[in-house]
């Protein structure tokens, strides 16, 4: 693609570079056992793999696990921030992987290993794009920051510190782009073709601990309400209907676009749902699962504890809840609703950690149009479609002071591949990495 500064071409070897990254076990949840060495080795590996990036970009360490690069453009106002994280989740040793998860095996056009999709694959396509543009002598129209964190998987603070650092320096990004949606086939029933799913907002995340005390003693003569039973009753009261259902604007826009890729009755159904948010909320709620999670706050009990022996009544019991807060709700309001629904003053509701949901970034602005243009070059058969992310990303730390935050990894991911994220046989196609690099290269070249 001819641009000022010469012909831009992609250098070979992107699969091997990703393989090298995967071989470093940057498991943030096991940092206490593994130590800091894999994370330091990763930072040094970037220096080796991307010499032009480290020659021309300003680099600084932010905290222990934050890596921040600044590529000076023709103007410094309203820069672009491209994000990724280089930590990964643990591997269950009892799982049967086709190839060892930290071997980074490249075989028959695929790269296998923990982090191939989440999130070292998306990181490598960003770094490759910048390296390739530097090789062509390209200068971006505006400053570009590369923000990489090493503790995203443990709800860590590297990205938060980076965001606070930029904000304290008076930097308000024009565009922030992090991991999130992907290029998927037939995203909803009866929808033809592929879609580049771009997250324009993300649900909040909240962890609560419920705890209760009761009389201990021998299990042969239990009281009417033990600590365990009190906690069990509290969890049971938090049914799927605890929170109201509302349809975010992004979901309505998503359905509107999907209607153009469907025929007959499905087309009319999607058209109707796109214009009746109240009906969409009811339909998605009835469907359950992911559709229901798009339109309301979800609550799930993930851990329970209490008791020391089979014949002893525990004097205390607890349960841990994971909530994903719907757009338009708040942390405080969510906690209040949980307490009201439990309706038991002897159950203590404690907030362990939490971040509220993001606002929705617009889809009628130059930033979203730029993303769509880059998709049209890298994945010409895919429609660019907004949606709401149910998982939390590091970009949540930027939406407080940046008006345009989006979540999209420009890689094709089948349903099986998406299931391998945090699972078994995580893998990415080499051709998908090459198209992902083209996406970022195009996006940077088309900045104005």
* Residue whose entry in the numeric block shows the structure tokens 């907004």: 386
Instruction: Say if CB 447 and CB 73 are below 8 A apart.
Output: yes
pLDDT at 1: 40
What's the mean per-residue pLDDT of the chain? 94
Q: Which two tokens stand for residue 203?
A: 């649900």
- Report the C-alpha gap between 409 and 396 in whole angstroms: 16
- Which of 174-183, 217-226, 256-265, 361-370 has the weakest average pLDDT? 217-226
pLDDT in tens, 253-299: 999 999 999 999 999 999 999 999 999 999 999 999 889 999 999 99
pLDDT over 90 (residue 4)? no
Q: Which domains does the chain have, with CATH numbers?
A: 2-195+358-445 (3.40.630.10), 204-355 (3.30.70.360)
Query: Which pTM value belongs to this model?
Result: 0.92
Q: Where are the beta strands (DSSP E) in 96-150?
A: 106-107, 110-112, 144-149
Are the CB atoms for 64 and 57 separated by under 8 Å? Answer: no
DSSP state of 296: B
């Amino acid at each position: 693609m001819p641009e000022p500064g010469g012909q831009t071409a992609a250098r070979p070897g992107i699969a091997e570079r990703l393989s090298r990254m995967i071989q470093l076990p940057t498991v943030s949840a096991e940092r206490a056992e593994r130590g800091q060495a894999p994370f330091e080795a990763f930072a040094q590996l970037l220096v080796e793999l991307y010499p032009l990036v480290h020659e021309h970009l300003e680099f600084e360490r932010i905290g222990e696990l934050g890596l921040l690069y600044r590529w000076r453009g023709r103007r410094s106002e309203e820069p672009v921030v491209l994000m990724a994280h280089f930590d990964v989740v643990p591997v269950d040793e009892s799982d049967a992987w086709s190839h060892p998860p930290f071997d980074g095996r490249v075989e028959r056009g695929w790269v296998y290993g923990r982090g191939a999709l989440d999130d070292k694959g998306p990181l490598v396509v960003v770094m490759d794009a910048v390296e390739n543009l530097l090789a062509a002598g390209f200068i971006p129209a505006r400053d570009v920051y590369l923000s990489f964190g090493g503790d995203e998987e443990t709800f860590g603070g590297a990205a938060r510190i980076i965001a606070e650092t930029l904000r304290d320096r008076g930097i308000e990004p024009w565009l922030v782009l992090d991991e999130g949606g992907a290029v998927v086939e037939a995203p909803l029933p009866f929808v033809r073709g592929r879609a580049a799913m771009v997250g324009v907002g993300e649900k909040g995340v909240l962890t609560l601990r419920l705890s209760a005390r009761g009389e201990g003693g021998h299990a042969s003569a239990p009281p009417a309400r033990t600590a365990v039973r009190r906690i069990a009753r509290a969890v049971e009261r938090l049914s799927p209907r605890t929170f109201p259902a509302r349809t975010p604007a992004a979901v309505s826009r998503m359905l509107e676009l999907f209607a153009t890729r469907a025929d007959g009755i499905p087309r009319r159904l999607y058209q109707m749902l796109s214009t009746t948010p109240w009906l969409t909320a009811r339909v998605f709620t009835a469907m359950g699962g992911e559709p229901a999670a798009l339109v309301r706050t979800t609550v799930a009990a993930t851990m329970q504890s209490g008791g020391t022996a089979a014949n002893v009544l525990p004097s205390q019991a607890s349960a841990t809840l994971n909530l994903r807060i719907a757009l338009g709700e708040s942390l405080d309001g969510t906690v209040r609703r949980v307490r009201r629904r439990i309706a038991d003053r002897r159950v203590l509701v404690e907030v362990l950690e939490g971040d509220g949901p993001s606002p929705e970034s617009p889809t009628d602005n130059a930033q979203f149009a730029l993303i769509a243009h880059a998709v049209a070059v890298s994945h010409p058969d895919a429609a660019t479609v907004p949606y709401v992310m149910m998982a939390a990303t590091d970009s949540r730390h930027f939406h407080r002071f940046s008006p345009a935050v989006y979540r999209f990894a420009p890689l094709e991911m089948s349903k099986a591949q998406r299931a391998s994220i945090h699972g078994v046989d995580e893998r990415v196609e080499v051709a998908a990495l090459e198209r992902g690099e083209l996406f970022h290269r195009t996006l940077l070249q088309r900045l104005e």
